[in-house]
Amino acid sequence: MSPDETGGLRERKKIATREALSAAALRLAMEHGPENVRVDDIAEAAGVSPRTYNNYFSSREQAIVAALSAERALRVGAALRARPADEPLAEAVIAAVLAPYTSAEEPSGEALTLITSNPALRKAFVQTLTEIEQPLAAAIEARTGSAFTSTVLAAAVSAAARVALESWVSPAPANPLLVVPQGSLAERLHEALARIAPALAAADPG
């Protein structure tokens, strides 16, 4: 017995495989360039069959990027739950979304450079932000009580964060109107979320 807190052996093995795959994917992409990594290489490096690789990730980019966004979704949800219950919802949400980025472990800049310099990887990376939506919605619902409202708000928050992340990882677009003041990712996230805050406040029962 004593399944500890991490489920059975089966589940741990699954997690290990997933991590091995994404780690291998990231390493190979950095060594040879993202275009020169075939799915078969990743699978081989992780010691599984190519078919199994596809049981874990449904695209090469997803595997590469997963290493940088692994548990973010869980963290955000947990962070929001950890905020004091009497804190205004807007503040709590902003703090929770920022949580994964304020801890001093900005993902190895080298990997970030790799990702930002490749359109497909950028897209996949930004895409991972949508993973926070469900945990966020659940955590918001715990405060507001309304499932529909919290789903909408979580989607809005996630979308705002996505815009912030996009503006941070994307090279200045041709359009000079879209320039955003340079700054850390945390700053941009804060800026973007501040625009959503009024909607959060309106739903705040506190």
| Cα gap 128→62, rounded to integer Å | 8
How far apart, in Å, do the first and last CA atoms of the chain sit? 43
Residue 164 binding target from DNA, a second copy, none, CB below 5 to 8 Å by type: a second copy
Residue 32 binding target from DNA, a second copy, none, CB below 5 to 8 Å by type: none
- Which residues contact a second copy (rule: CB under 8 A)? 141, 147-149, 151-153, 155-156, 158-160, 162-164, 167, 177-180, 191-192, 195-199, 201-203
Given candidates 33, 59, 74, 173, which one binds DNA under the rule CB under 7 A? 59
Nearer to a second copy, 46 or 92 (CB): 92
- Inter-axis angle of helices 147-169 and 109-116, to 10 degrees? 90
| Cα gap 154→89, rounded to integer Å | 12
Stretch that binds DNA, among 58-66, 91-99, 159-167, 193-201 (CB under 7 A): 58-66
Residue 184 binding target from DNA, a second copy, none, CB below 5 to 8 Å by type: none
Given candidates 5, 9, 181, 182, which one binds DNA under the rule CB under 7 A? 9
Nearer to DNA, 49 or 108 (CB): 49
Nearer to DNA, 15 or 74 (CB): 15
Any residues with CB less than 8 A from the CB of 63 and at least 6 apart, and which? Answer: 21, 22, 25, 42, 53, 56, 57
| Cα gap 76→78, rounded to integer Å | 5
- Residue 54 interacting with DNA (CB under 7 A): yes
Instruction: Note the helical H segments in 33-146.
Output: 39-46, 50-56, 60-69, 72-82, 89-102, 109-116, 119-127, 133-144
- Residue 17 interacting with DNA (CB under 7 A): yes
